[in-house]
Structure 1
Amino acid sequence: MNLESVVLQGRYEIIEKIGSGGMSNVFRAKDLKLGRAVAIKVLKEEFCSDAEFVERFKREAQAAAGLLGENIVNIYDVVDEGKYHFIVMELVDGITLKEYIKIKGKLDITEGVSIAIQVAKALKPAHAQHIVHRDIKPQNILITEESKVKVADFGIARAVSEQTLNANAIGSVHYISPEQARGGRCDARSDIYSLGITMYEMFTGRVPFTGDSTVSIALAHLEQAITPPHIYNNQISANLERVILKCTKKDPANRYQNITEVLDDLENVLLNPDEPYALTGATKVIKSEDTAVLNQVEPIDDMEDDEYDNDEVDNDEDDYDEEDEKMDRIMSIVGVIVAVIIVILLVFFVGRFTGVFGGKKSDNSQSTLDSTQTVMPDVVGLSEKMADKKLSDNNLQMQVKSSEYSDTVEKGNVISQDPKADEVVSKYSKVSVVISLGSDTVDITKLGIAGKTKEAAEALLKENGFSVESKEENSDTIEKGKVISYSPTKPKNGDRITLIVSSGKKVTKVIVPNIINMSEADAKALLESNGLVLGTKAEQNSQSIAAGIIAGQSIAAGSSVDSGTRIDYAVSTGVAESSESKSESSEQAQTTKATVAPAPTAASYRYVASIDTNYSLQDVIGPSSGFTSVKVMIRLKQTVNGSDVYSTLMEARTVTGDTILPVRFRTIVGANGVDQGEVEIVNVDSGEVMKSYTVEFFRVE
């Protein structure tokens, strides 16, 4: 739908399209009432046909319109216009966090934590009003030129998230929480999970889970453990990693329970990046799915030193001397300390065995392994070097089976492994891995093909190993012979590239109107209304046409020409009086009124020609010529300074087909310096030149 220049509700003037997403198109617009720039999000047509969805969409957008915050893209209005539905919101000039990550690769730790804090601050007022975003991802986080962070689409994602998960959700599924993936209930902790995944991507330059389909990625969120982010970026501190991993626990009860807890820990990371501290928020019993290492053991509270009640002590205890009493007290304290140490040691070794404190995995199968077996670790997605180290640490040998191209796995990383992760295998056995060669597609946009000539573009593509075919299309803006577009934009090596080459503006045939006896302004308007252009001006003398009025045109009226053709013309300068011309004029008066081509300068000489012949119309019209009439004129055609100039020798008259037309002009004055011309008999109605005679001009002093 083309909405540019449309004014919605008599208030919002659409200026240009600035973006497109899975459910909407976004336009830059102007609020004519308040005089401010706004963004207008237009719901796509496939959603507009679902009345229930539209109602839910509007209800959620209206609820989100009550949210205000410096880190929130504020919603101003919800508008209906016919079958379309719009949301008017704050216009943010900047780029998305996704684009920013793509530019920088991995974000600086301080910068990334600052961005995460601003996102958390945007979520805080929303969660306080029980509004869950449901689609926190880098694509919905905007960064302005002043480095301010704005979170978009509050309240809108809920309506969309209730639709069926499909291929259109591929952008969101990388950040979806496990409870959303299984279709369960979402709350603020779902946004915290998505924020954790977003932080993971900010600091590693990659999302933790990839796959060939939305379903496989969603299952990874449910089942696969997250590779600790420091594996991909050793600049990530232990404190920051613990925050990310706690945000991305699969069980919501093991995550931060509210966004304030996340904010507190992120601010602590910013202030004390390396100083160990206990994370905020309650934590459940850690499950085998969780990969975070518990860095601290909560200290066991000191046992209270309960004093004995002196009233309950037998009187015979008064016999103890003072030193015995001190010794008993010392022994009691020592006993308590020993007991505490034993308890700590027991907790530590049990924790190491069960995997709680980073020791063995809490996998029941581990306890059944004998000394010759081990559990296969997951190395898919790791770099070749990291995978080799991880397998070596587990007493296994890595063997590169092959290398393959992959659009989803980064170059040099593991695509697949055999045996699979979590299988029980013999120690020192070989593990076959397939290493990614990266994508085999080439981004040919960098070649700058658009706008090049067809020949230059073909040569450039062939130099880069592609085959080429060309197709032509009309274009009003691209010069003929130059490339308009091409496809595909990211082909594989050796693919065929199709060039769309401009064949120039679309040409249509038009009929030339008669502009003789018109002013220049009227002729220009008439020609332009017929798709033609008023061309080069010349001057000529004319006995019958007043000075300043067009007396001749380069292409006869009624001719069929291409649109855009230039029609040159001659303007009458009136009659050039001289004694010789007066006598010549009276001599010709009995036959025809003659006009001559102009002398461009006042010279003492002229170029003169003559003709004396007859023309039988019967030769053209045929036996029934006596019953047929035709309108004819006689004119002189000369080429002056590269342009054809016409002079009227006989005005248009209607004659019968059996007429013998005299073509007798004793003195025809032509353009100075031009020694040749054509005397033409023209059918005025059709523009056809019926007969043409070549005449020679001679200089006469």
Structure 2
Amino acid sequence: MQQPATDSLVGALIDGRYRVASRLARGGMSTVYLASDTRLDRNVALKVLYPYLAEDHNFLERFEREAKSAARLSHPHVVGVYDQGLDGNVAYLAMEYVRGHTLRDLLNESAPLTPRHALAVLDPVIEGLSAAHAAGLVHRDIKPENVLMSDDGRIKLGDFGLARAVTTSTSTGTLIGTVAYLPPELVTGTAADERSDVYSVGIMLFEMLTGRQPFTGDVPIQVAFQHVNSTVPAPSTLVPGLAADLDELVLWCTGSDPEQRPVDAAALLGELRHVHKSLTDAQLDFQAAPAAPARSSATEVIASDLHRTTVISRPAQHTRIFSAGEAAAAPVDEQRPLSTREAKKRQRELARNARRPEQNLRRGNPRRRGAIWILVLAIVAALVAAAGWFFGMGPGALVSVPDVAGKPVAEAQSMLQEQGLEYRLQEVFDEKVAKGIAVGTEPDAPIEVRRFEHLDLVVSKGPELFAVPPLAGMSLEKATNALEEANLSAGKVKKAFDEDAAAGTVLSHKPAEGKQLRRGTAVDLTVSKGPKPFDVPQVVGQPQGDAAAALEGAGLKVEIAPEAVFDRDVPEGSVASQAPAAGQVIRGDTVTLTLSKGPRMIEVPDMVGRQVDDAERQLKELGFKVEVNEILGGFFGTVRAQDPVNESVPEGSVITLTVV
């Protein structure tokens, strides 16, 4: 089926975990999608119930119950069930995804198969089924479509979605299964057990060996009646040359009475392997002429008259007492013991013979017996006629679904009503189809459906719109994540200074909060670079109060260094230095001020009588400046006078020496 671009689940995230990638197939009750498990990073097959089934409380309970039963089963030849849940009105089953093809694909290309190929394919299928039977599960819908063959050669039995736990099996008045492989007891209203699966396996083996199904008909009910009233022919009647052991294996599986079949898949597996070993290479590699491919088998739902709940148990082993005549009729070989295979054949023959006296006792008067048969044939004829009307002209007749895509909803409804089709209106968002226009139908046209089957008329609600979430105050990373969660995206990012917002914080966005946008629309963001930097004010030399006021007025914080310093150029109490002294700062930064203690006071020593060079050196070492006045050329180089002397003066003061 062509996958519609409007499947509302494609691209959706189910239950916060499964991202739907594409649709794989549609079945009688569900759609199967390829999805990615975002938690475990693996692909899964996601089976999603149709919405109208998910709304059926009883059906949903059964779906959940069967999912839990199937999840208990872990076997290399059974498709694993990982998870089950309900997300709104989406009921789903997460299963192992097997990349490859089905047995149906193989039969369409290569049927009939050689016995070697058929037995090799069937062996792992029966092995997986035997594990299910051991766990108390009955599959109920075995068919080539449910045998998965992976690209790496693994074979798995899938779709236990219709299986029911044997200990809780219920007959509800509805027969669910694929009619081509349906055991007769399900048609007549008897509850299914493991032997029902064995029958379906036998029909599947028949088709693998012959390329045909044993029973066919124009309508499903005709095929169902053949399962009840006819005997499955030996495969060699259609393909002369097949080994007799293969005939016996198929006929043993497909006995009309469940008592005639293997008790479960484990018993069948042992016999299948015995047959495989007993056949010669020529018998195993026998190749019949190609047959026309059988059509794909869909699961059918057929009405049944049984309305009761039954608990299925394994059939008890009974001991029968034979009459003397019967015992004498059974040949006894005293010369050698019977082989395992011969013993099984003898057991089946004795079981058939043991039922014959009971059948003879029930024969009664031949005239009465004839009347009963006439009545039975009349009932069967009436049922066939009713089925013919139902499926030919009545509610079960096939009707072509018209292509309503692109039509206004009123016109699309009219087209469906003209065909006598029942439908439900389903509204979906669509990026390309305008509101009120039909997107199509589910299932998609062109297709033929029964008149009584419900369709979904899918009508567009227009593009789905998503509100812009509140982003101001978030970091850029959080804002981007919030947009993705709202099915939007981050657009251009512009940066701007802001005196109040920390760097990296979203200041504003466009479109604004609450604006309704289409999926994936970009929202432009303005992000703060923090406060704008500026040159630090110069306050050196200013009184402490004036300096602090100037800095605080610029938005800076002021700290005073704990130790003041001497400074001969800056008065005491004024700013001797600042840190930082230059460069750029931003509001809120701190500037540290070091205050001046004024110039250092030093006592001037008396240098009178000393040589001028020595006096000048000592005074300079103390931090003074020296000025020399010479009298008569300072011939003797001796200090005769000094100003000032023997008093404290500021460091760096000028000391005048008079030299003669």
Q: TM-score, normalised by structure 2?
A: 0.43
Larger Rg: 2
Identify the structure with bigger relative contact order (alpha carbons < 8 Å, sequence gap 6+): 2
Q: TM-score, normalised by structure 1?
A: 0.40
